[in-house]
Amino acid sequence: MIKLLRVDHRLLHGQVAFSWTQSLGIDCILVANDDVPENDIRKTTIKLAKPQGVKLVIKNINDSIKALQSGVTDKYKLFIVVESVEDAYKLSKAYPEIQEINLGGMKIREGTRNISKAINITKEEEELVKELVDSGVEVEIRQVPSDKKIKALDAF
């Protein structure tokens, strides 16, 4: 069962690994990213941030979609972490059971505007978020579970 899909440019780090995992009762974290499986430095860093007693799986986006669709992840209380809105969009469209997306950290990049403490979004990303919301996916902004949930569209 997918508990949450989070967009965070840092992927897995202390805040994500501990506060969200504890709050949601997670037993497996899927890092879905096209770079990390091929990047030993990033992979090692992510493995170091993994909470004890939680399974960590690192797959590229296509393999993540295949794993979700195959049912192999169904036995877990799954927390999916992606680096970008585009990756969240791809996963959500390929696997409609994803009903909640958390925007947790999106760094300043060219063409972005700040809409929340740690969320910087491009016009194209805004359009993807709007399309997700229109299809029934809840897209919210929160750094940690104790923060007040803000609907992404309310921040645009």
Is the predicted pLDDT of residue 145 greater than 80, yes or no?
A: yes
- Could you tell me the CATH number of the domain that includes residue 127? 3.40.35.10
- Specify burial of residue 136 (Cβ count, 10 A radius: 0-12, 13-18, 19+): exposed
Q: Cβ(39)–Cβ(10) under 8 Å?
A: no
CB of 114 closer than 8 Å to CB of 108: yes
**What is the domain count for the chain?**
1
Tokens of 13: 């780090």
Tell me, what's the pLDDT at 14? 82
Give pLDDT tens digits for 92-139: 999 999 999 999 999 999 999 999 989 999 999 999 999 999 999 999
Segment 81-99 shows an average pLDDT of 97
Supply the pTM of this predicted model.
Answer: 0.96
**d(C-alpha 139, C-alpha 142), whole Å:** 10
Which pLDDT belongs to residue 41? Answer: 96
Q: How many CB atoms lie within 10 A of CB 38?
A: 10
Residues 15, 104, 106, 150: is their CA dihedral positive or negative? negative
* 3-62 confidence digits (pLDDT tens): 999 999 999 998 778 999 999 999 999 999 999 999 999 999 999 999 999 999 999 999
Question: Which pLDDT belongs to residue 64?
Answer: 98
Full residue range of the structural domain in which residue 11 is found: 2-155
Q: Is 5 exposed, middle or buried (0-12, 13-18, 19+ CB in 10 A)?
A: buried
